[in-house]
């Protein structure tokens, strides 16, 4: 008997079905390649999906240039990021995990 009987059971969140309730939370890995996600970040996320995470929350991304916290943050503000993120998210989805992006702004502490 386990103390967490539902941990490995599927769950539906709106229109998404998670294979289990294990969530790999967002954190700053500083793996951007000139402000864009590249193969290194993609491999990092994929390993978490292959390891069994049901949902992966990708590294926080600022919603505006004034909200950048570290130089390793991803770019923001244009659709230029879409094909780059698609390259790293598609393998994660194929491996069975749901992936989403955390957005943030550091408020008054940002550049203005």
Determine the structural domain holding residue 39 and report its residue range.
11-104
What distance in Å separates the CA atoms of residue 1 and residue 37, rounded to the nearest whole number? Answer: 41
Please, which pLDDT band fits residue 72 given cuts at 50, 70 and 90? confident
Specify whether the CB–CB gap between 35 and 74 falls below 8 A.
yes
Tell me the average pLDDT across 6-11.
Answer: 96
Q: What is the CATH number of the domain that holds 37?
A: 3.30.750
Q: What is the pLDDT of residue 65?
A: 79
Q: Which residues contact 104 (CB under 8 A, 6 or more apart)?
A: 60, 61, 62, 63, 67, 69
Q: Which residues contact 68 (CB under 8 A, 6 or more apart)?
A: 62, 76, 106, 110, 111
What distance in Å separates the CA atoms of residue 86 and residue 76, rounded to the nearest whole number? Answer: 15
Tell me the average pLDDT across 55-61.
Answer: 93
Domain for residue 109, yes or no? no
Q: Is the pLDDT of residue 42 over 60?
A: yes
Domain count, the chain: 1
């Amino acid at each position: 008997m386990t103390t967490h009987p539902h941990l490995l059971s599927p769950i539906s969140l709106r229109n998404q079905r998670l294979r289990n309730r294990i969530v790999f939370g967002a954190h700053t890995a500083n793996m951007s390649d000139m402000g864009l996600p590249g193969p290194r970040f993609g491999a990092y996320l994929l390993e978490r999906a292959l390891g069994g995470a049901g949902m992966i929350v990708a590294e926080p991304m600022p919603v505006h240039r004034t909200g950048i916290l570290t130089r390793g943050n991803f770019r923001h503000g244009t659709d230029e990021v879409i094909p780059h993120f698609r390259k790293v998210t598609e393998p994660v989805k194929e491996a069975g995990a749901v992936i989403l992006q955390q957005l943030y702004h550091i408020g008054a502490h940002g550049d203005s």
